[in-house]
Structures are given as C-alpha cells and as structure tokens.
Amino acid sequence: MSNRTTVTEFLLLGFSDVRELQILHFVVFLVIYLAALVGNLLIITAVAFDHHLHTPMYFFLMNLSILDIGSISVPVPKSMANSLMNTKSISYSGCVAQVFFFMLFSSTDIALLTVMAYDRYVAICQPLHYERVMNRRACIQMAASAWISIFVYTALHTGNTFAMSFCGGNMVDQFFCEIPQLLKLACSDSYRSEAGAIAFSVCLGLGCFVFIVVSYVQIFTTVLRIPSEQGRHKALSTCLPHLTVVSLFFSTVGFAYLKPTSSSTSVLDLMVAVLYSVVPPMMNPIIYSMRNKEIKAALRKLMAGRLFTKNELSIFRL
C-alpha cells in the first residue's frame, strides 16, 4: 500500500493516446488559450488606459479579466505540453500548485462576481447613494478582501488535501489536478477529514449564488418600476453581461459537480472539465465586449493607438 510520502508524481488522464489526436488537442487548446489571453489583456488595457472606464463596474471587470488569465493558465499549458511530448506525468509539487492556483482563481472569481452583483444592485436600486457607497476606497477594499480571504482559505484547503494519504495509486482521472479527483485516491480515513472542508466550500459557493439571485430579484423589481422603456433597457443593458457571465460560470460548475457520478464516463468528465475551466475565461471578454458600447469604444481607440496618447496613466477615478 502506497501513501503520500511515496507519491512523487501523478499521471493525468489524456484526451487520447492517438498521436494525431494529441496534436489536434494541442492546437485546439493553443487557439483557445491565445484567444483568452488576447481578449482579457485587451479588456485590462482598455480599462486601465481609458478614463471613461475608471468606474467601479470596470474596475471589477479588470480584476475578473486578471482572474480569467490566471485560471486558464493553470490547467491548459501543462495539458498542451503533455500532449505535445506524449506524456501524462505531473510532479507532486506541480500538482499541489495546480490545485492551489486553480482553486484560488476560481474561488476568487465567484467572490468577485458576487461583489459585481452588489455593485449593480446599488447602481440601480440605490442610485442616489451609489457614489458614496461604491467609492474608490470601498471598491479597493472589497476587491482586496476577496483576494486575501480566498488566498487564506485556498492555502488551508490545499494543505489539508495534500496532508492526506494516497492509497489508490497516482492516476488522476482528469487533465489537470483537482481536489475531487484526488479524493478518489485518498484513504478512507483521510477522506473523512476532508469532508468538512468540502462541505464548507459548497456552502460558500451556494451562499454567493443565493446573494447574486437575491440581488437580481431586487434589480428586476426596480427595473420594472421604471416608467420609460428606454430607461428600463438602459438599466438592463448594464446588467446583462454580468448576468450572462454568472449564468455561464454557475451552469458549467453546477453541471460538473451535481451530475450523477455513476453515469459519467472519463470522456464526459474531461469534456465537462473543459466547459468550466477553459470556456468561461475565453467567453467572458467576448460577452462584455459584445454587449457594452463603452468597452467597444475603448477597444476601437485601443486598436487605433489613441488610448496611450490621449489618456494619463492614473489608475481609477471612481
């Protein structure tokens, strides 16, 4: 029986053992990864250099883009490298790093989406108090609180996970290291010690989801009371990108973790993992740029090279 001290590496499940399909996987992931990087970097640059976007909503959007770059950079490059080199191995320390950083970025993503829902709630339901409530200091504090609290939580959760004894071998049924798959390799007594941390994580996620739902119930109730159709459309247009991103994130994660385990195959698990780990970081910049006139205008200026010459480098005038 092997335990944690004898595990020096893990083997990740590949998409295929056929060389041609491995190359195809590398190319597809490379295109997706570059699209996500370019899209999110454009959002970050546009928000940073266009003073018209120095508002709380776009400040949080820039943080979301940073998280998206981080979250997709955790599983995709290693998976591409494994396909290109026809290997499945990842070192023990590499697996720890993947678990820590993927949880950090994805969990902070949830926290930030919750803060963005609150921002939209204050903007639409309490517009007279918006500048006072969502001032520069408050926005920085909320973003910093999300990053720091999730960092501490992730460090404790990751440490607790790798304190387990792995008695089930070192084959991870996923294309990157994640806690649910590592639990399948743990001894039964170690698994029970991790159950509390998992339950706490689920409660946090559900709490954020409920907060977002309640916020949007209040938002829609307020919007319906706006007398003019143009006013209702303008209010909803500021919420639609965020609502779309929230729906995409929670639907993919919910499908991944709530589907019946017994009916899932390894191929299905791989496809579902791609949905929640790779697709949202690529789609989020597209969603925000398609539905937002201010982002479109800033991106046009950026492409024309005018942002760098007409705007100062001061960060946020909230």
Domain boundaries, the chain: 7-310
Domain 7-310 = CATH 1.20.1070.10: yes
**Could you tell me the pLDDT band of residue 263, with boundaries at 50, 70 and 90?**
very low
Mean pLDDT value of segment 292-300: 78
- Rounded CA-CA distance 284/249 in Å is 10
pLDDT digits (tens, 9 = 90+) for 88-119: 899 999 999 999 999 999 999 999 999 999 99
3-state helix, strand and coil shares in percent for the chain, rounded to the nearest 5: 75, 5, 20
pLDDT at residue 262, as a whole number: 46
pLDDT at 254 over 70: yes
Mean pLDDT value of segment 50-55: 85
Select the more confidently predicted residue: 219 or 13.
219
Find the range with the poorest average confidence among 44-48, 63-67, 159-163.
159-163
Both structure tokens of 309: 């010459």
pLDDT digits (tens, 9 = 90+) for 127-144: 888 989 999 899 999 999
Model's pTM, two decimal places?
Answer: 0.85
pLDDT at residue 2, as a whole number: 43
Contact 280, 248 (CB under 8 A): yes
pLDDT digits (tens, 9 = 90+) for 55-79: 898 999 999 999 999 999 999 999 9
- The three-state secondary structure class of 81 is helix
pLDDT at residue 226, as a whole number: 84
How many CB atoms are located within 10 Å of the residue 59 CB?
24
pLDDT at 261 over 70: no
Q: Where are the alpha helices (DSSP H) in 172-306?
A: 179-183, 188-224, 229-258, 266-277, 279-290, 293-304
- Rounded CA-CA distance 10/267 in Å is 19
pLDDT at 29 over 80: yes
- The three-state secondary structure class of 121 is helix
